[in-house]
Amino acid sequence: MAKTIMVVDDSASLRQVVGIALKGAGYDVIEGRDGADALSKCTGQKIHLVVCDVNMPNMDGITFVREFKALPNYRFTPVIMLTTESQESKKEEGKAAGAKAWVVKPFKPEVLLGAVAKLVLP
Q: Which residue from 117, 122, 116 is spatially nearest to 52, judged by alpha carbons?
A: 116
**Does the footprint of another protein cover residue 69 (CB under 8 A)?**
no
* The one segment of 32-40, 41-49, 68-76, 87-95 that binds another protein by CB under 8 A: 87-95
Binding test (CB under 8 A) with another protein, winner from 25, 29, 30, 103: 103
Q: Which residue from 20, 22, 41 is spatially nearest to 116, judged by alpha carbons?
A: 22
Query: CB 1 → another protein: shortest distance, Å?
Result: 19
Quick one: CA dihedral 1, 24, 107, 55, positive or negative? negative
Query: CB 109 → another protein: shortest distance, Å?
Result: 5
**Does the footprint of another protein cover residue 95 (CB under 8 A)?**
yes
The total of other beta-carbon atoms located within 10 Å of residue 52's CB is: 27
